[in-house]
């Protein structure tokens, strides 16, 4: 029994240190690269602020928690926490921006910035490409095949360019 316990402990320790190694490597890589995502901490801060403000409702449907949801609803509805992850690691990271590219910080429901409404249109375009246009061309199912997302075109830039 003791030997078994010792082995389990050793494996766990090795795993823990491997995990922290990977983490440090990731962090230092991030700090080193100029074009890497230097905005991640900024976005994480805002995402966590909103997350704290909806405490207890994280698993509720996004359109029942937030005030001004026009496209991420109906068939495409997701939980409030999933919605915020998508805001952060989906849209913002894929465009290489922070939340203030589309929002006035703290007034999340406001549509004052034109970029926010464009993002809604881009979302509808992405859904249409994956659910109608691509299947009509290839006959494949884009729930299982590689699909078009914001990064397919944007590649970490607010406006896609040829380079």
In Å, how far are 60, 82, 134 from 87, measured between CA atoms?
Answer: 16, 9, 25
- In the complex, the smallest distance separating the C-beta of residue 21 from ligand HEC, rounded to whole angstroms, is 28
Q: Which residues is 127 bridged to in the sheet?
A: none
In Å, how far are 16, 44, 154 from 29, measured between CA atoms?
Answer: 20, 18, 22
Measured from the CB atom, the residue of 81 and 87 that comes closer to ligand HEC is 87
d(CA 56, CA 67): 17
Q: What is the DSSP letter of 92?
A: I
Residues 26 to 55: which contact ligand HEC by CB under 6 A? 43, 46-47, 50
- In the complex, the smallest distance separating the C-beta of residue 85 from ligand HEC, rounded to whole angstroms, is 9
Count of residues in contact with ligand HEC, rule CB under 6 A: 40
102 binds ligand HEC (CB under 6 A): yes
Applying CB under 6 A, the residues found at the interface with ligand HEC are 43, 46-47, 50, 66-72, 84, 87-88, 91-92, 95, 97, 99, 101-103, 108-109, 115-116, 118-120, 122-123, 126, 148, 150, 152-154, 158-160
């Amino acid at each position: 029994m003791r030997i078994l316990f010792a082995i389990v402990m050793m494996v766990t320790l090795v795993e823990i240190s491997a995990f922290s190694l990977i983490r440090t490597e990731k962090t230092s890589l991030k700090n080193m690269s100029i074009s890497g995502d230097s905005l991640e901490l900024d976005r994480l801060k805002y995402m966590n602020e909103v997350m704290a403000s909806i405490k207890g409702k994280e698993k509720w449907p996004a359109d029942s928690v937030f005030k001004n949801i026009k496209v991420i609803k109906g068939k495409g509805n997701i939980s409030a926490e999933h919605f915020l992850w998508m805001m952060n690691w989906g849209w913002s990271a894929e465009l290489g921006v922070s939340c203030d590219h589309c929002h006035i910080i703290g007034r999340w429901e406001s549509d004052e910035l034109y970029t926010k409404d464009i993002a809604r249109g881009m979302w509808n375009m992405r859904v249409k490409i994956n659910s109608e246009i691509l299947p009509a061309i290839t006959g494949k199912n884009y729930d299982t095949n590689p699909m078009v997302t914001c990064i397919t075109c944007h590649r970490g830039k607010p406006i896609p360019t040829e380079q």
